[in-house]
Structure 1
Amino acid sequence: MLNNIKIENILFLDIETVPALKDYKELTEPMKSLWNRKAKQIRSNPEELPEVTYQRAGIYAEFGRIICISFGQFSKKNSVLKFRLKSIYGHNEAEIITEFNELLKKHYPPETHYLCAHNGKEFDFPYIARRSLINGIQIPKTLDVAGIKPWDIKHLDTLDLWKFGDYKHYTSLQLLSAIFDIPTPKDDIDGSQVAGVYYNENNLERIAKYCEKDVLTVARLLQKYRCEPMIADEFVKFS
């Protein structure tokens, strides 16, 4: 099935998110109360305080926000396949989402194009949709899957594809990269460091660079799933 999809019609993407506010203390009293409930559900240590657990708030659309959306697409000219990346990032989440959603509406309609991400079905795609609504932004058809039959949804997920019907565990992009011999730079920040880099260093460019590298890894992983040669660095263009 994967090889029947024209790879140039797939938009690969990854998002970076952070807690909505830098510190738990900045939350309103109602939001503190709501986070306290959430923290009890997700904390690994029963003694862990909500203030500590709040460091992981960015993975929840209700308590986090998007600071970067990176995406990439294959193109072919004279039988040469190339891959180009771009990022939309900043402090204003509404502007990031608006620009990305407009891009989807204009250039990536679900009738002709697919979206692809690692764990995209459970994280990236619904996160963008939820944050769109919270910001009062219309969800593009490519992301608005409510009421759509599962087999008609044009979403590809490299994590979901690797499960082959097995829902017992999560397989990280890092592990899949290792077993498929996909090169990953050693100078990247770790996903758990994104909030710190954003709030303490204010280094959005570094975050965007890290995000783009993940997008490239997802694209190469899908090529491996299709048993196709992996695109070489010389044919990759970063933003």
Structure 2
Amino acid sequence: MLANLLLLDIETVPAEADYHSLNAEWQSLWFEKISKTVPENMAPEDSYQMKAGILAEFGKIICISTAFFYENEQKAICLKMKSVYGDDERTLLQDFVKLCDKMYAHQKQFQFGGHNIREFDIPFICRRLLINRLPLPEYLQLQDKRPWDVKMFDTLTWWKFGDYKNYISLHLLANVLGIPTSKTDMDGSMVQDVYYKEKNLQRIVDYCQRDVVVTANVILRFKNLPLLDAANVVIVT
């Protein structure tokens, strides 16, 4: 089972640094999109700052970190990670698809694994592929599939155990399960400021990779297997 997984996590930001960078038409489209889901007295520039990065129509992907499990010579469980990142989203997505194609060529039954990827990461990637006029590879053509035919190892779905009201963050789930957390020098709410104000993409990549390691350990905990030794996490540059 573990050998079939391609773990991933994405980091997203608003496509423009702020609401006022949008032209009049896109400002109108933003208001139309968001008007029913934010308080009436919230200014559009504030709602854009808060929500644009998590909406595929108004956001963009700046990092996708991926990883897969393998066993070393001592039969210990290891994790190999690779991230694609940059300001050019189209190139980033093309590199991600090439990486997935290699996995697909090797293992047709591979599954994506991650936290809340069914509701966020995978749909976001698919939408941004189309927006960038890139073809959807076969393993991401999910639009007509029934939910139970879409095979993913989503740790959020696992933790629900059929309770569809339940939501838990990766940070809380890690703490509940006694797993070292990824929230050290930053958290998800800081990503767009680190990107647009600090212009420190590498800091975001490091954070994204730590999230993938946490997710990998959650999966191992679900499987009642030992957590990863830090020495057995390999990052490919």
Q: Output the TM-score relative to the length of structure 2.
A: 0.93
Aligned partner of 2:24 in structure 1 is 29
Give the letter for the 1:48 counterpart: M
Aligned partner of 1:69 in structure 2 is 64
From 100, 103, 107, the equivalent of 1:107 is: 103
Give the Å deviation of 1:131. Answer: 0.2
From 110, 129, 134, the equivalent of 2:131 is: 134
The 8 Å contact of residues 17 and 59 in structure 1, kept in 2 or not, is answered as yes
- Structure 2 runs not aligned, ≥5 long: none
Aligned partner of 1:47 in structure 2 is 41
State the alpha-carbon separation in 2 of the partners of residues 99 and 9 from structure 1.
Answer: 20
Deviations 1:115-161 (A, max 9, x none): 01111001000100000000011112222112234333232211011
Give the Å deviation of 1:46. Answer: 2.6
The equivalences for 1:162-177 within 5 A come to 162-177=159-174
SS of residue paired to 2:9: strand
The answer on 1:89 being equivalent to 2:85 is: yes
Q: Supply the RMSD in Å over aligned alpha carbons.
A: 1.5
The 8 Å contact of residues 108 and 114 in structure 1, kept in 2 or not, is answered as no
Aligned partner of 1:188 in structure 2 is 185
The 8 Å contact of residues 104 and 140 in structure 1, kept in 2 or not, is answered as no
Aligned partner of 2:7 in structure 1 is 12
State the alpha-carbon separation in 2 of the partners of residues 149 and 105 from structure 1.
Answer: 23
- Structure 1 runs not aligned, ≥5 long: none
Go from structure 1 to structure 2 and tell me whether the alpha carbon gap of 1:121 and 1:33 turns closer, same or farther (over 3 Å shift). same
SS of residue paired to 2:118: coil
What percent of counterpart residues are identical?
A: 43
State the alpha-carbon separation in 1 of the partners of residues 235 and 185 from structure 2.
Answer: 15
Give the Å deviation of 1:76. Answer: 1.2
Go from structure 1 to structure 2 and tell me whether the alpha carbon gap of 1:60 and 1:149 turns closer, same or farther (over 3 Å shift). same
Give the Å deviation of 1:37. Answer: 2.1
The 8 Å contact of residues 155 and 218 in structure 2, kept in 1 or not, is answered as yes
Give the Å deviation of 1:220. Answer: 0.6
Aligned partner of 2:94 in structure 1 is 98
Give the letter for the 1:85 counterpart: M
